[in-house]
Amino acid sequence: MPQAKYKLKLTLPAELDYTEIVRYIAEDNVRAAQKMISRIDSTLALLRNNPRLGPVAREKELAAQGYRYLVIGSYLAFYKIEGDTIHVHRILHGARDYVKLF
Protein backbone atom coordinates (compact mmCIF):
# COMPACT_ATOMS: atom_id res chain seq x y z
CA MET A 1 0.00 0.00 0.00
CA PRO A 2 1.47 3.40 -0.93
CA GLN A 3 2.58 5.85 1.72
CA ALA A 4 0.03 8.54 2.61
CA LYS A 5 0.82 11.92 1.10
CA TYR A 6 -0.09 13.97 4.17
CA LYS A 7 0.47 13.67 7.91
CA LEU A 8 -2.59 14.00 10.13
CA LYS A 9 -2.38 15.73 13.50
CA LEU A 10 -5.08 16.56 16.02
CA THR A 11 -4.62 19.76 17.99
CA LEU A 12 -5.16 19.61 21.74
CA PRO A 13 -8.70 21.03 21.45
CA ALA A 14 -9.55 18.35 18.84
CA GLU A 15 -8.12 15.62 21.08
CA LEU A 16 -10.24 16.90 23.96
CA ASP A 17 -13.32 17.03 21.70
CA TYR A 18 -12.67 13.44 20.59
CA THR A 19 -12.33 12.23 24.18
CA GLU A 20 -15.47 14.07 25.26
CA ILE A 21 -17.51 12.66 22.35
CA VAL A 22 -16.46 9.10 23.14
CA ARG A 23 -17.00 9.53 26.88
CA TYR A 24 -20.46 11.05 26.37
CA ILE A 25 -21.61 8.25 24.05
CA ALA A 26 -20.08 5.55 26.27
CA GLU A 27 -22.17 6.72 29.25
CA ASP A 28 -25.19 5.19 27.53
CA ASN A 29 -23.69 2.66 25.15
CA VAL A 30 -20.07 1.46 25.08
CA ARG A 31 -20.54 -0.37 21.79
CA ALA A 32 -21.88 2.79 20.12
CA ALA A 33 -18.85 4.68 21.46
CA GLN A 34 -16.53 2.08 19.92
CA LYS A 35 -18.33 2.43 16.59
CA MET A 36 -17.97 6.21 16.77
CA ILE A 37 -14.22 5.86 17.43
CA SER A 38 -13.92 3.69 14.34
CA ARG A 39 -16.03 6.06 12.27
CA ILE A 40 -14.06 9.16 13.30
CA ASP A 41 -10.71 7.45 12.81
CA SER A 42 -11.55 6.01 9.39
CA THR A 43 -13.06 9.27 8.12
CA LEU A 44 -10.09 11.35 9.27
CA ALA A 45 -7.69 8.79 7.75
CA LEU A 46 -9.22 9.50 4.33
CA LEU A 47 -7.74 13.00 4.54
CA ARG A 48 -4.19 11.65 4.44
CA ASN A 49 -4.55 11.00 0.71
CA ASN A 50 -7.48 13.32 -0.03
CA PRO A 51 -6.95 16.55 1.94
CA ARG A 52 -9.51 18.50 -0.08
CA LEU A 53 -12.20 15.90 0.55
CA GLY A 54 -14.05 18.26 2.85
CA PRO A 55 -15.48 21.50 1.50
CA VAL A 56 -14.37 24.94 2.64
CA ALA A 57 -16.32 26.01 5.71
CA ARG A 58 -19.54 27.85 4.84
CA GLU A 59 -19.22 30.39 7.63
CA LYS A 60 -17.21 33.36 6.38
CA GLU A 61 -15.28 33.65 9.66
CA LEU A 62 -14.01 30.08 9.33
CA ALA A 63 -13.55 30.12 5.55
CA ALA A 64 -11.39 33.26 5.82
CA GLN A 65 -9.09 31.32 8.15
CA GLY A 66 -8.78 28.42 5.70
CA TYR A 67 -10.93 25.87 7.52
CA ARG A 68 -12.43 22.93 5.72
CA TYR A 69 -14.69 20.36 7.36
CA LEU A 70 -15.88 16.78 7.18
CA VAL A 71 -19.25 15.50 8.33
CA ILE A 72 -18.93 12.46 10.59
CA GLY A 73 -22.44 11.47 11.60
CA SER A 74 -23.75 14.35 13.73
CA TYR A 75 -20.25 15.79 14.14
CA LEU A 76 -18.14 18.18 12.11
CA ALA A 77 -14.37 17.86 12.01
CA PHE A 78 -12.74 21.20 11.16
CA TYR A 79 -9.26 21.13 9.69
CA LYS A 80 -6.63 23.11 7.82
CA ILE A 81 -4.09 21.96 5.28
CA GLU A 82 -0.66 23.35 6.16
CA GLY A 83 2.15 22.15 3.92
CA ASP A 84 2.18 18.35 4.06
CA THR A 85 0.22 18.23 7.32
CA ILE A 86 -3.49 18.26 7.97
CA HIS A 87 -4.27 19.81 11.34
CA VAL A 88 -7.64 18.83 12.77
CA HIS A 89 -8.60 21.76 15.01
CA ARG A 90 -12.01 20.78 16.39
CA ILE A 91 -14.53 17.92 16.27
CA LEU A 92 -17.89 19.37 17.29
CA HIS A 93 -21.54 18.41 17.23
CA GLY A 94 -23.24 20.11 14.29
CA ALA A 95 -26.04 21.46 16.50
CA ARG A 96 -23.61 23.53 18.57
CA ASP A 97 -22.78 27.15 17.84
CA TYR A 98 -19.36 25.99 16.69
CA VAL A 99 -18.22 29.33 15.22
CA LYS A 100 -18.11 30.74 18.76
CA LEU A 101 -15.93 27.81 19.86
CA PHE A 102 -13.02 28.82 17.64
Q: pTM of the predicted model, to two decimals?
A: 0.91
Give all domains of the chain, ordered by start, each with its CATH number: 7-101 (3.30.2310.20)
Confidence of residue 4 (pLDDT cuts 50, 70, 90): confident
Q: What percent of the chain is modeled with pLDDT above 90?
A: 88
The predicted pLDDT at position 99 comes to 84
Q: Cβ contacts of residue 33 below 8 Å, gap of 6+? A: 22, 23, 25, 26
Nearest to 52 by CA among 86, 75, 21, 25: 86
Cβ atoms of 63 and 101 closer than 8 Å: no
The predicted pLDDT at position 2 comes to 61
